[in-house]
Amino acid sequence: MDAMLHISTLHYLVLGAALFLLGVIGVLTRRNVVVVLMSIELILNAVNLNLVAFSRYWGGLHGQVFAIFVITDAAAEAAVGLGILIAFFRNKETVNVDEVNLLKW
Amino acid sequence: MAADPTNHMEPVATPFFFYLLGGLMLIGGVLVITRKNPVHSALALIVTLLAQASIYLMLYAPFVAGVQIILYAGGIMVLFLFVIMLVSIERSQRERQFNKQWVVGMVAATALGGLFIAVYTKGRGIFPEHALPAVEAQNTQNVGTLLYGQYMFAFEIASLLLLVAIIGAVVMAKKRI
């Protein structure tokens, strides 16, 4: 019970791992491209949570700076991904990842 | 572990807020990957992001929490909602939501979860409990000093990356170049 009530760094890491798993499940099982991109955001957020938790654990702000860089990357990824999605929808009239098979052997 | 009691307040009821916000995050995450309507997924993701920003506050990272709210909940999610409204979602809502490989996907995710459990149960000695270091009094100022000092080069690369992303997004979304 004490381990449940005393919030340590491990608690934040487990929370981040759970969020990461949810994102992985979303990426692997969903067919809608928009939801797949949102699941990638979930994964990036799980990583950010770990970075900030370790920043608190070790002291210093390097983890937080790294989290800000990850947020920048997430913004770039979302912009490019959604641009690709719009181009894809214009050509195929669908948002289904299963129909992205032009390069499939 | 506040360095100076006049600058910091000890967080109140940390376990309660941790489980409340963590639960909100996980419920939001589950809703993101299960909802049929992508708009509902986006709204659930906003709940997750806001709860996570509050958890950043609990970890004494107010600047990252602010960036999270402004950039993620305010910027990226609005982008998502706009794109959902640009593409037609009626057809995809009538279709099957999960792909044919979902069993394989769930097996892979379960394996990953088992790996996480193994790592965190066997490897908890790697992160021994120690008294957490004192919090720096000026978070935003110190983050700014790091960004414009030690991480100057990475900061410039990030701005270049954003420029490339802007051009790429415009080129992709434009009808005729």
Q: So what's the ipTM on this one?
A: 0.90
Q: Least CA distance to A17: which residue of chain B?
A: B116
Q: Does residue B33 carry a pLDDT above 70? A: yes
What's the Cα-to-Cα distance from B114 to each of A46, B25, B109, B121, B122, rounded to whole Å? Answer: 17, 21, 9, 10, 12
May I ask the CATH architecture of the domain A2-97?
A: Orthogonal Bundle (1.10)
Residue B131 in tokens: 């008294």
Contacts of A74 in chain B (CB under 8 A): 72, 76
* pLDDT band, very low/low/confident/very high, at B1 (cuts 50, 70, 90): very low
Interface membership of A1 toward B (CB under 8 Å): no
CA distances from B10 to B2, B5, B15, B60 (A): 7, 8, 13, 10
Least CB–CB distance from A85: residue in B41, B64, B83: B83
- Residues B152, B158: Cα–Cα separation, whole Å: 10
User: Which is nearest to B100 in space by CA: A98, A7, A46?
Assistant: A98
Q: Could you state, in order of their start, the residue ranges of all structural domains in chain A?
A: 2-97
Q: Write out residues 38-67 of A within 8 Å (CB-CB) of B.
A: 38-39, 41-42, 45, 48-49, 52-53, 55-62, 64-65, 67
Which tens digit of pLDDT belongs to each residue from B63-119?
999 999 999 988 999 999 999 888 877 777 777 778 788 899 999 999 999 999 999
Asked if A99 reaches chain B (Cβ–Cβ under 8 Å), the answer is no
> Chain B: nearest CA to A102, how far in angstroms?
17
- Nearest-5° Cα angle at B95, B79 to A23: 50
Question: Which two structure tokens, joined as six digits, stand for B1?
Answer: 């572990």
- CATH C-level class of B1-94: mainly alpha
Say whether B173 and A58 touch across the interface (CB within 8 A): no
Q: Do B158 and A72 touch (CB under 8 A)?
A: yes
A74 touches chain B (CB under 8 A): yes
Q: Which of B33, B60, B76 sits opposite A25 (nearest CB)?
A: B33
- Determine which of A60-64, B9-13, B53-57, B152-156 has the lowest per-residue pLDDT on average: B9-13
pLDDT over 70 percentage in chain B: 93
Global pTM reads 0.89
Cβ contact B80:A85 at 8 Å: no
Q: Between A and B, how many residue pairs show a Cβ–Cβ distance under 8 A?
A: 233
Q: Which residue of A has its CA nearest to B68?
A: A71
Q: Using one digit for the tens of pLDDT, what is the confidence trace for A39-84?
A: 999 999 999 999 999 998 888 889 999 999 999 999 999 999 999 9
- The overall average pLDDT reported for chain B is 86
CA–CA min distance B9, chain A (Å): 16
Tell me how many degrees the CA angle A84-A87-A88 measures, rounded to the nearest 5: 85
